[in-house]
Amino acid sequence: MIDKEYHFFKDFDLERVCFDKYFFVVYDAKYCIGEHPFDDMVAQKYWQNRLLSRAKSKGRFVDVIRVENDYSFYELHLNKSRKMFCYVNIIKYLQNVKGITVDQSLVLSKDNFMPIDDKTLFSEYLQAKGEIHKHFITAYQEFVRDNWHIDLEDIKVKPVQLEIAYEIFPASVNDISNRFQAKGVSIQRFNTQSGTIYLNENVGSTQVRLPDGLTMMITDDTEVFCQPTSATYTSGLNAGYSTDKYQIKFYQKSFGLVRIEFTIVNETISKLNSTQEYLYFLHKAMNSQLRFGEFVKRFDVALEDIVRAVAVACNISEQMCYNIKDIGVWESSRETKATMRKLRKRGLLIPENDEIGTRKKGKYTVAPWFQEIFKRFKPKGKELFLPGVIKRR
């Protein structure tokens, strides 16, 4: 959570910021420059954890020791630099630490989100990020000491990629997509239950273009916090780009909960250390030439009455009702099992078939009768009506 003074949109019931996926490298500045030979004895000792991992951007495979749990893993290279590549889902980490569980009937794709009523502060995410660094530094130090009998003294952490999520409730990613398209903004949209939107148009392996050739550099001048700036949207973020580039995507994380996700890389992560610096970065990005306030709004209030009535009739939440009406394809997974069971029990999801009538495995569509209710409904100013129905005194 963040204090209301840091809210960007102001008109949502909930605005919060959290960290999601985080990738980084742990290494020793002196030890990593050596050409260490492959250690067959260590490989045999950890044979259950040994695997081949593709080296980033080099197109080849390297021998690593991989250790993982439900929310993290590390891969330690067995030769040359012997560095440790690490990944942590910080939301899942905090769920585990704080004993937080997510209602599985609210899961659209993955359950790496906090409940709507969760009170976790953004400062706790920052603290968790520091704790994670210490944990993997210790793990690296102990592994090298136990297996190669070397005490490392200059261990460092190099950030690679971090996802910062700005979440709002209640909202619909389909509404946001429609507003982008109405304004002629180039987007990529995936027609699944999450409705993911990418604000980019690939023009090459290392470059992405948006209208007006947007670019961004973060300044240290806090006086221009809310002044218009520009933004660079990039893809292929592991390819070693220059500083202050990031990628943005929007998606429906849960019913009514929209996530605006900023993926930042390398030196940009290192620049941001305090709550104020992170929120400054987010406000700066969302107040760019592509002003988010024009596109990101609450539910269409003209639909509130009909959504409320249909939700009661179908015995589902209003947020669930509003979001599933626009889903094109529902892809099943282990995490969405409870949600699918609930929707299928109420006749709201039906199996999808191909052209010859064969059922597509793991794919469903929203029942046509349910979608038809909303297609028939037409807002006219602030007056709500259904075609052919007249309110009489």
Read off the pLDDT of residues 151-196 as tens digits, 9 standing for 90 and up: 998 899 999 899 999 999 888 888 888 888 888 877 777 766 777 8
Q: What confidence score (pLDDT) does residue 191 get?
A: 61
φ, ψ of residue 37 to 5 degrees: the values are -75, 160
Amino acid at residue number 106: L
Average the pLDDT over each of 14-18, 123-127, 150-154, 285-289 and give the range with the smallest value. Answer: 285-289
* pLDDT attached to residue 87: 93
pLDDT at 387 over 60: no
pLDDT bracket for residue 258 (50, 70, 90): very high
Q: What is the pLDDT of residues 319-362, one digit of tens each?
A: 888 788 777 788 878 788 888 888 888 888 888 887 777 778 78
Eight-class DSSP state of 110: -
Percent pLDDT > 70 in the chain is: 77
Peptide bond into 170 cis (omega under 30): yes
Q: Which of 68-77, 98-107, 132-141, 371-380 is predicted with the least confidence, judged by mean pLDDT? A: 371-380
CA-only gyration radius of the chain, Å = 24
Question: Which is more confident, 391 or 314?
Answer: 314
Return d(Cα 341, Cα 344) in angstroms, integer. 5
What's residue 381's pLDDT?
43
Q: Is the pLDDT at 139 greater than 90, yes or no?
A: yes
* pLDDT tier, 121 (very low <50, low <70, confident <90, very high otherwise): very high
**Is 26 in contact with 157 (CB distance < 8 Å)?**
yes
Q: What mean pLDDT do residues 241-250 have?
A: 67
Half-sphere exposure of 310 (CA within 13 A, CB side): 21
Residue-wise pLDDT tens digits, 56-75: 545 566 788 888 888 999 98
Mean pLDDT over the full length of the chain: 77
Q: Which residue has the higher pLDDT, 215 or 340?
A: 340
Read off the tokens for 326: 């626009």
Inter-residue contact 366 to 324 (CB < 8 Å): yes
Q: Under a CB-based contact definition with an 8 Å cutoff, are residues 329 and 337 in contact?
A: no
Band (86; pLDDT cuts 50, 70, 90): very high
- Indicate whether 392 pLDDT > 50: no
Domain-by-domain residue ranges, the chain?
A: 4-294, 301-385
Question: Has residue 229 got a pLDDT over 50?
Answer: no
